[in-house]
Amino acid sequence: MSCLVCGAQFQAPANLIVHQVLSCNECLSEFEVTDTEPLTLVELPPNEEDWGQ
């Protein structure tokens, strides 16, 4: 599939699950899987201030 931001082609890993994060190897944009059938991605919003460990 192709990156929503830069258009680069990337291979989605097998056994994706909803809410999984994928990233584009070219532009490093991150996407959240919102559906697996068919595979649907939305761009991940910028990190929230309280994200982390």
Residues of the shown chain interacting with another protein in the complex, contacts defined by CB under 8 A: 17-21, 32, 44, 47-53
- Least distance in Å: CB of 7 to Zn ion? 7
The number of angstroms, rounded, from the C-alpha of 42 to the middle of its chain's C-alpha atoms is: 7
- Least distance in Å: CB of 30 to another protein? 9
24 contact choice in another protein, Zn ion, none (CB below 5 to 8 Å, kind-dependent): Zn ion
Nearest C-alpha neighbor of 5 from the set 25, 21, 19: 25
For residues 7 and 40, which CB has a smaller minimum distance to another protein in the complex? 40
d(CA 44, CA 23): 9
What's the token pair of residue 7?
Answer: 């258009």
